[in-house]
Amino acid sequence: MSMLEDRVANRRTFAIIAHPDAGKTTLTEKLLLFGGAIQLAGAVKTRGEQRRARSDWMKVERERGISVASSVMTFDYKGRTFNLLDTPGHEDFSEDTYRTLTAVDSAVMVLDGAKGIETQTRKLFEVCRLRDMPIATFINKFDREALDPFELLDDIEQTLALDVVPASWPIGMGRNFLGCYDLFRDQLVLVSKDKNNHLDEGIVCQGVEDPKIDELLPESYAAKLREDVEMIRELCPAFDLQAFLDGTMTPVYFGSAVNNFGVETLLEGLTTMAPPPRSAPSATREILPNETKVAGFIFKIQANMDPKHRDRIAFMRLVSGHFKRGAKLKHVRSAKTINVHNPVLFLAQDRELAEEAWPGDIIGIPNHGNLRIGDALTEGEDIRFTGIPSFAPELLQKVRPIDPMRAKHLGRALIQIAEEGAARTFKTRMGSDWVVGVVGALQFEVLADRIRTEYDIPVNFEQTELYTARWVEADDHNDLKKFVDANQASLAEDHDDSPVFLARNSWHLERAEKDWPAIRFLKTKEQL
Ligand code: GDP
C-alpha cells in the first residue's frame, strides 16, 4: 500500500447534525477528549457554556470569530484520523451548514432522548439523504427522563423513512440510568460513579443470558434488558453494513454525552463502520481519492473578523492526492495558478506544524475574494465538480446604505458577497434597489454586520412584499427579451447580470409561468 492509499484508508471525515440543544457541542467536546485533543475540548466547552447566556445573534458573531479555528477538529483514535467538521449551531438555517455537509463522508445525528426528531434534525437529515450519506444516530440525555427507547426508534423510522438498528441499548433512564448493553460487541457498559473523563469500560458478556449480568444489574433491570433484547431481535432487522454505507440504515446508540457515557461506544462504531473519503463527481469523470494528483473543491468561504483586511479563508475539501504547503494549483475557473503558500491546515494538536494534507482533509486558503464556492483547484486538469448545492432564496429584503452617498460602494460590496456565495443579490430594473435573498433570516443580520465591518458601510435591511426570486431563461433569445420587456417592474439582475423575476406572491409567479410558456423559471442558478 502506498502512503497515499494508507492515509486515505484511515481518514474519516464527518459532521454532527442536531437540533440546537440536543448536545452537539457536548458530544464534540467528548469526542475530542477521547481522541486526545484535550486542549481543544476545553475550548469547545467554554464556547458551549458562554453560548447559553447570549442571544442568537451574539452566538453567530462569536461563532464567526472562532469559527476558523474550530471549523475542522482533527483527532486520532485507534489508528484512524478523524476530521470533524463543525456546522453552525444557531437555529436559523444557513447555506454554510448545507454546504459543509457536502464536504463530509458520514454524519452523526444527535437526538435529545426526551424529544426525538426535531425540525432542524429533519432538515439536516434531508440534506444528508440527498447524498446518500451514512448516518449513525446518538440518542443523548438518557440521564434524564427520556421517551421510551422503542418509541424513539419508531420515531426515527417513521419520520425519516430510515431503517433503524440499535447498536446499544439503554438500561433504565433518568436517575436510574445504569448503562447500556452494547449489542454489536456483546458488552455490558455501566455508568461509572466517578465522573472524571475516562473511557467507558465494557464487561464482555456471552450474550444477554450471561449470568454476569445478574451479578451486575438489579434483578428487575436484568429481566427488562433480556425482554427488550428479545423484542429488538424480533422487530429490528440485522445490522447490514452496506445498507448503512448506502444511507438507508442507521445504527442507534444511546448515552449521556455530558456524563461521557456512550461516547466511546459510538466512537468505536465510527472507527469500524464509517467510510473513508469518497470519490467526487465532476462534469467529466469521477475523481478518486487515491489519484496522485491533487484536486479539491471550495465548499465554504469565511470572511475574516479583522475589519482592516478583506481577507477571506476559502475552505477546500481535498478530494485526491497528497497536498504539501507551497503547492502551485490551477484555479480552474480563472485558469490562473495559485501558490498555496500559507494554507491553514487542521491537524491533530500541532496545527502550526502541519505541512501537508490528504484526501478527506480540509485546507483553509487565505485569499482576497478570488476563490468562490464550487471552485476547483487541481494540478492542471480542468475539473468542474458537481453536486455543490446552490439554494433558492426564500427570504427577500431590500438593503440601503444609511448614508445615501455610499450606494455605489454598497453595490460593489453586494456583488462580492454574491460572488462568494454567501447570499443572492439582485438589482431591480426600476428604482435600482438592491434586494438580497437568503434562506435563513439570521443571514440578514450577519450580512449587515459584515457590510458594516468589512466595507465600512452601515446599512438597513427592510422588509419587502416579495415572495420569491426565479432566474429566467429561454431557448430563444427573442422570447426572453419579450418577457423581460413586458415585465420590467418585476425584473432584476443578479451579480452576473442574469435576469431574475421577482414575484410578489405565489399567484404572481403562477400567472407568469402560465402566460409565458417559453420561459423557464429556475429556483437556482448553477454555481459556476
Ligand atoms: P448543542 O446546542 O446541540 O450544541 O447542545 P449543547 O451541547 O450545548 O447542550 C445543550 C444543553 O444540554 C447544555 O446545557 C448541556 O449541558 C446539556 N446536555 C448535553 N448533553 C447532556 C446529557 O447527556 N445529559 C443532560 N442532562 N444534559 C446534557
- Of 16, 19, 21, the one to substitute when testing ligand 1's pocket (max ligand atoms within 8 A of C-beta) is 21
Spatial separation of the C-alpha atoms in residues 512 and 528, rounded to whole Å: 27
Q: Which residues contact 457 (CB under 8 A, 6 or more apart)?
A: 401, 403, 406, 409, 410, 413, 451
Place of cell 424529544: 115
**Cβ of 120 below 6 Å from ligand 1:** no
Nearest protein CA to atom 25 of ligand 1, as residue: 141
Q: Which residues contact 305 (CB under 8 A, 6 or more apart)?
A: 64, 65, 453
Instruction: Please tell me whether the interface predicted TM-score (ipTM) of this complex is above 0.90.
Output: yes
**Cβ of 330 below 6 Å from ligand 1:** no
Q: Measured in angstroms, how far is the CA atom of residue 334 from the centroid of ligand 1?
A: 45
Return the ligand 1 atom nearest residue 26 CA: 7
**Cβ of 137 below 6 Å from ligand 1:** no
Three-state SS for 452?
helix
DSSP 256: B
Give first-to-last CA distance, the chain, whole Å.
37
Return the ligand 1 atom nearest residue 20 CA: 2
Among candidate residues 44, 48, 18, the one with its CA nearest the CA of residue 31? 44
- C-alpha to C-alpha distances, 514 to 467, 498, 499, 510, 511, nearest whole angstrom: 18, 22, 19, 6, 5
Neighbours of 76 (CB within 10 A): 15
Buried b (16+ CB within 10 A) or exposed e, 183-199: bbbebbbbbeeeeeeee
Do the annotations mark residue 87 as ligand-binding? Answer: yes
Q: Measured in angstroms, how far is the CA atom of residue 202 from the centroid of ligand 1?
A: 24
Spatial separation of the C-alpha atoms in residues 343 and 522, rounded to whole Å: 37
Q: Measured in angstroms, how far is the CA atom of residue 197 from the centroid of ligand 1?
A: 16
- Of 33, 54, 110, 258, the one to substitute when testing ligand 1's pocket (max ligand atoms within 8 A of C-beta) is 258
**Cβ of 257 below 6 Å from ligand 1:** yes
Do the annotations mark residue 88 as ligand-binding? Answer: yes
**Cβ of 258 below 6 Å from ligand 1:** yes
Q: Measured in angstroms, how far is the CA atom of residue 13 from the centroid of ligand 1?
A: 23
| Phi then psi dihedrals of residue 476, to 5 deg | -100, 125
- C-alpha to C-alpha distances, 404 to 292, 305, 458, 460, 495, nearest whole angstrom: 53, 26, 10, 11, 21
**Cβ of 269 below 6 Å from ligand 1:** no
Q: Measured in angstroms, how far is the CA atom of residue 110 from the centroid of ligand 1?
A: 11
Place of cell 432522548: 113
Do the annotations mark residue 440 as ligand-binding? Answer: no
**Cβ of 499 below 6 Å from ligand 1:** no
Chunk the chain into consecutive blocks of 10 residues (it has 528) and report each block's average pLDDT, rounded to whole numbers. 94 94 91 67 44 45 51 87 81 73 96 95 89 96 97 97 97 95 93 65 86 94 96 94 98 95 94 97 96 95 64 90 94 94 69 76 87 93 86 89 93 87 90 90 85 90 93 95 96 92 95 97 72
| 301 sits in which H/E element | strand 295-303
Show the cell assigned to 127: 440534506
Residue 118 CA, distance from chain mean position: 17
Spatial separation of the C-alpha atoms in residues 482 and 234, rounded to whole Å: 65
Do the annotations mark residue 140 as ligand-binding? Answer: yes
Three-state SS for 441?
coil
Do the annotations mark residue 495 as ligand-binding? Answer: no
**Cβ of 18 below 6 Å from ligand 1:** yes
- Strands (E) across 192-278 are located at 202-204, 249-254
Neighbours of 306 (CB within 10 A): 10
